[in-house]
Amino acid sequence: MSPLPLTAPLIVVAAGAVLVYLLARLLTQDSRFLAAVSATILALALVALLPSLRDAWAGEIRVWPAQGEEALLIAEPGGMLLCACSLLLGLTVVSFSGDYLALDRRPDRFYPLVLLLQAGTLGMALASNLFTLYLFIVLTSVSSYILVAFRRGTETAIEAGYKYAVTGSMASILALAGIAYLLRATGSLSLPFAPRNPDGWHLLGLSLLCLSLVIKGALFPAHIWLPDAHGRAPSSVSALLSGIVAPLHLYLLLKLGLALDAPLVTLGWLLVAIACGSMLVGSLMSLRQSYGKRLLGYSTISQVGYATLAFGFGLVFGEPQAIAAGLVLLVAHALLKGLAFMSKGVLHFYCGATQLDDLDGLWQRAPVASGLFAVALVGLAGMPPLAGFAAKAGILWSLARVGHLSAYLGAGVLLVSSLISLGAYLPLIARLLRPRSTDSEMVRPSPWMQLPLVLLALGSVILGLWPTPIWEMALRAARFLLTWGAHGG
Amino acid sequence: MSNSSWAPIALLLSLVAPCLGAVCVGLGRSRPGRWAGGVALTSALLLSLALALAWLARDGEAVLFGDGVNAGMLAPRLALRLDGLSLPFALNLALVAILSLWYALDYAVAQAQSFHALMLLFVASMLGALLADELILFALFWEGMLLTSSLLLLRHGDSPNAESVTLRYFIYTQAGSLALLGGLLWLAVRAESTSPQMVSLWAQQQGASLPWVIPAALAVGFLVKMAIVPLHGWLPDAHAIAPMPLTILLAAAMLAMGGYGMARFVFGMVGPGGVAALQTPLMVLAITSQILGALMGLASRDIKRIVAYSSISQMGYALLGIASFSSEGLSAGVMHIWSHGIVKSLLFMVIGLVIAATSRRQISRLGGLGKRLPRVMLALGIGALAISGLPPFITFASEWRILLADLASTHPALVVLAFVGIVLTSCYALALVGRLAWGSAPEDSEPLQPIPRSMALSTLATVILLILVSLAGYPLTIWLGGLITSAMGSGA
């Protein structure tokens, strides 16, 4: 029996987007029905991904097309991990949106766009050719610009979407220019490759490409657009953007750096510096927020900073454990940030909570959603037994393995930053638990919104208590990436 | 170790009992608060029974459940160990849990169901941290302690600013815990194992070549828990706003966890070679706490705060013993923590009775209770004498042995300062009794409220326990000393 080609999940999701659009135009505008169809499509894509995932686990890396020199897609373990993560998060987002979309309506646009976004992220994680990668980046970006501005009735959403689109397009142009210079220097677009004669053009192309990814990954000092965009988008969209899209750009930075024969030590130190800035700025700024989703946006900046720190030290010292720890953090962050944004969405939907002040005493009105939000915050702060703890402990563990003075300093910054963010998250939990005098009627959130969130919370507990399988996969990914570039050269 | 014996199962059950109790209380939310209290007390009794059975049925020096040999990844493994060092602490925890939950039975607390469920989870996480025989598991329970106690303070704290007090407590402790976590992970990476035994073997080989930062980072985490000056800032407010049963658990059991950590991980795991550089700073901090805690106790005007500050001072004594880095000093320090658990429970219980009877906490508005509450004042007097370290109380034995151990250490001169602390302790403790029992009664005295039954009975039981323990002071000291010495001698 011939295994499914690597393109299967991509085709399923992209064709699904068209199908959902047609269904919505021709048949029904019922949000729940379309959510169910989209969820089925994503579940099918996940099933189609499984054979490649299993092969990647077994150390057999699939490529597509299978014959010939120029592979366009590659199923390497790290990309597979993020693909699976993205699809799972997408599944919870669409089933959450079934009822949540009552706020925004237009399901005929929403679900196809989410599916296109999913196709874009899948493609980004799988691409093994720079131009393919570029196309998928553009697909992801364009669909996310529209989704950020989806709540088009409000001026802030339009403004946030506009800002996001301008920054993102600039970054895309930088990426295209970078790819052009790389092509000029090497005559190839297929990953991995080493330059025929590494010269200034190669370096320029590489820098432009990295710069573009830094901007799109919202890494310090190019992070300023993120809190606006993720703070104004609908919660379900923010969950996807913060949980998987921004971190995926960071992963690509690592992957391309290794595949394109970048000066790894320099790139590594740069990442370490960026990481320290991201961690501190993200956690310090989250102390000053009064708007719930903006706070979560700043928390994404610091969390992505933790992973950047691990990646940076992994590159400088060639330490697979550190890269793996960064990947585990990205997975944990996807779960917890999805949980945080969507449980916040439930509180918004039923209790009208947008500002932090609105959170006061919500425990009494919506205990499950408040509890889930508290769990997400505690997890993001890195407390056990949640995934955030396992991931942060993993990063500290790998930094201790590196054993260099700078790694200890980096670990110190990480610890300080997590302590500061604790100062931002804890008051929120305290607010939820405040006694409430007025308007304390219980609300009954839809199970379609809460059940996926409960599953996310369970997943993050399991990952916190038993991170071994994800660790193993991440280690495989790290080992593969570290040798991938070397093979190409 | 033999796996055929049922001691390991009993050990696991001791940890499961409070968790099950919490689940029961949670399921029975519609039942009255007293029912929740009864379930909680029963679970604490079951916990103690299981612990006792596990220890009595052991073969060898320790009871082990599962093994903590780690594959190198960061998944916690369920490995428990009850040995000569954890036994005194577990015993202390079990006793304090029973006493405080008994006391809580009639203590007026809002939302009794959630209170009792959280109290049980708090006890379970402390017991888990005591028994954990794997570093990641230990970290899990250690943070669980913080989470549950913070929730208790936040939801049941008796003050309008419970929120800010809880935040301060949380951030303080978490800062320490992060340092602790960093230190533990560093050791685990170097030793390539997360089993305390393996880490200990590796660290003892390193001896003095181990960087002093590592034991110092561990010590910071534990000293915050012990509330040693200058890391004590969270304690007075947290103890003052907590409902009395929680205050008892915090002061008599949770502070002890810091001492356990110092004994097990800083002294026991890193070993005398690695920690030698820390001895002088630790002894200085210990004596500073001892004196400053007593002075702040003297300066306080709120009777609950006076007793709370005395914990800072008493933990100073215990640290003084541990910081002698000799096995005599260590066993004396542990012994002191153990006796402090009983005495401090008694003092807080009595203070709770006084508050329940008079509804007042300011010392200036209290007095002349010797005639009105004679038996309560007698109990307070016993507690005050015991905390002053006077013979024949058990605290005398432990303090005396601490001082002896320190006289034999490298800084005998510091012991002189410790005597100053002892004198100050007697001052605040006796001043408290004097003021409450014989001080002039305030003019606006109101009639006394009746004292709830379970609060009075549990206080009486604590007095009897204290007297019994003091009478058996000598054999107890020998027994505990032997246990601890053999546990420390066997490598952990």
Rounded to 5 degrees, φ, ψ at A113 are -65, -40
> Distance between CA atoms of A290 and B106, rounded to whole angstroms?
42
Average pLDDT, chain B: 89
pTM (two decimals): 0.90
Answer yes or no: do A418 and B178 touch at CB < 8 A: yes
Question: Closest Cα partner for B26 from B140, B154, B121?
Answer: B121
The token pair that represents B357 in the structure block: 């009877």
Question: Locate tokens 């199923």: which residue?
Answer: A75
Q: What is the pLDDT of residues A251-292, one digit of tens each?
A: 999 999 988 888 889 999 999 999 999 999 999 999 998 888
Q: How confident is residue A1, by pLDDT bands cut at 50, 70 and 90?
A: very low
- Name the residue among B147, B166, B186 with its Cβ closest to that of A400: B186
The answer to whether the bond into A221 is cis (omega within 30° of 0) is: yes
Judged against a pLDDT cut of 90, whether residue A239 lies above it is answered with: yes
The token pair that represents B146 in the structure block: 């913080």
Q: What is the pLDDT of residues B243-292, one digit of tens each?
A: 999 999 999 999 999 999 999 999 888 877 778 888 889 999 999 999 99
Q: How confident is residue B2, by pLDDT bands cut at 50, 70 and 90?
A: very low
Which positions ≥6 away from A33 have C-beta within 8 Å? none
A2 falls within a domain: no
Does the CA dihedral A458-A459-A463-A468 come out positive or negative? positive
Answer yes or no: do A411 and B74 touch at CB < 8 A: no
A213-231 burial, b if ≥16 CB within 10 A, otherwise e?
bbbbbbbbebbebbbbbbb
Least confident of A125-134, B203-212, B335-344: B203-212
Distance of CA A2 to the CA centre of its chain: 32
Answer yes or no: do B74 and A393 touch at CB < 8 A: yes
Judged against a pLDDT cut of 70, whether residue B320 lies above it is answered with: yes
Judged against a pLDDT cut of 80, whether residue B233 lies above it is answered with: yes
| Closest approach of B137 to chain A, Cα-based (Å) | 9
Judged against a pLDDT cut of 50, whether residue A426 lies above it is answered with: yes
Q: What is the pLDDT of residue B404?
A: 87
> Distance between CA atoms of B243 and B246, rounded to whole angstroms?
5
Residues of A in contact with B190 (CB under 8 A): 400
Q: What is the pLDDT of residues B26-62, one digit of tens each?
A: 888 888 888 999 999 999 999 999 999 999 888 878 8
A353 falls within a domain: yes
Q: How confident is residue A3, by pLDDT bands cut at 50, 70 and 90?
A: low
Q: What is the pLDDT of residue A117?
A: 96
Answer yes or no: do A468 and B71 touch at CB < 8 A: yes
3-state secondary structure of A441: coil
Answer yes or no: do B136 and A422 touch at CB < 8 A: no
Judged against a pLDDT cut of 80, whether residue A431 lies above it is answered with: yes
Q: What is the pLDDT of residue A42?
A: 96
Q: What is the pLDDT of residues B353-405, one digit of tens each?
A: 999 999 888 888 888 888 889 999 999 999 999 999 888 898 888 888 888 88
> Distance between CA atoms of B307 and B250, rounded to whole angstroms?
12
Q: What is the pLDDT of residue B414?
A: 83
Give the chain A residue nearest B179 (alpha carbons).
A415
Q: What is the pLDDT of residues B321-333, one digit of tens each?
A: 998 888 888 889 9
Judged against a pLDDT cut of 70, whether residue A196 lies above it is answered with: no
Please report, for chain B, how many H helices and E strands are present, in that order.
Answer: 21, 2
Q: What angle in degrees, to the nearest 10, is found between the helix axes of A387-402 and B162-191?
A: 40
In 3-state terms chain A splits into helix, strand, coil percentages (rounded to 5) of: 80, 0, 20
Q: What is the pLDDT of residue B243?
A: 93
| Closest approach of A137 to chain B, Cα-based (Å) | 34
Q: What is the pLDDT of residues A379-411, one digit of tens each?
A: 999 888 899 999 999 999 999 999 899 999 999
Residues of B in contact with A385 (CB under 8 A): 140, 144
Range(s) of the domain holding residue A377: 8-488
Instruction: Give A61 or A461, the one with higher predicted confidence.
Output: A461
Q: What is the pLDDT of residues B168-188, one digit of tens each?
A: 999 999 999 999 999 999 998
- Name the residue among A411, A426, A466 with its Cβ closest to that of B75: A466
Q: What is the pLDDT of residues B73-122, one digit of tens each?
A: 677 888 899 988 999 999 999 999 999 999 999 887 888 889 999 999 99
Q: How confident is residue B70, by pLDDT bands cut at 50, 70 and 90?
A: low
Judged against a pLDDT cut of 70, whether residue A23 lies above it is answered with: yes
Judged against a pLDDT cut of 60, whether residue A487 lies above it is answered with: no
A368 falls within a domain: yes
| Total domains, chain A | 1
Give the domain ranges of chain B. 7-489
Q: What is the pLDDT of residue A374?
A: 94
Give the chain A residue nearest B70 (alpha carbons).
A468
Judged against a pLDDT cut of 50, whether residue A125 lies above it is answered with: yes
CA distances from B320 to B143, B313, B409, B426 (A): 26, 11, 11, 18
Judged against a pLDDT cut of 60, whether residue B4 lies above it is answered with: no
- Name the residue among A394, A418, A427 with its Cβ closest to that of B167: A427
3-state secondary structure of A90: helix
Over residues A88-103, the mean pLDDT reads: 90
- Name the residue among B147, B167, B181 with its Cβ closest to that of A430: B167
- Name the residue among B75, B167, B175 with its Cβ closest to that of A468: B75
Q: What is the pLDDT of residue A254?
A: 94
Give the chain B residue nearest A411 (alpha carbons).
B182
ipTM: 0.85
The residues of A whose Cβ lies within 8 A of any Cβ of B are 378, 383-385, 389-390, 393-394, 396-397, 400-401, 411, 415, 418-419, 422-423, 426-427, 430, 433-434, 465-468, 471-472
Query: B64: part of which helix (H) or strand (E)?
Result: strand B63-65
* Residue B236 near residue B305, CB atoms below 8 Å: yes
Judged against a pLDDT cut of 90, whether residue B228 lies above it is answered with: yes
Q: How confident is residue A246, by pLDDT bands cut at 50, 70 and 90?
A: very high
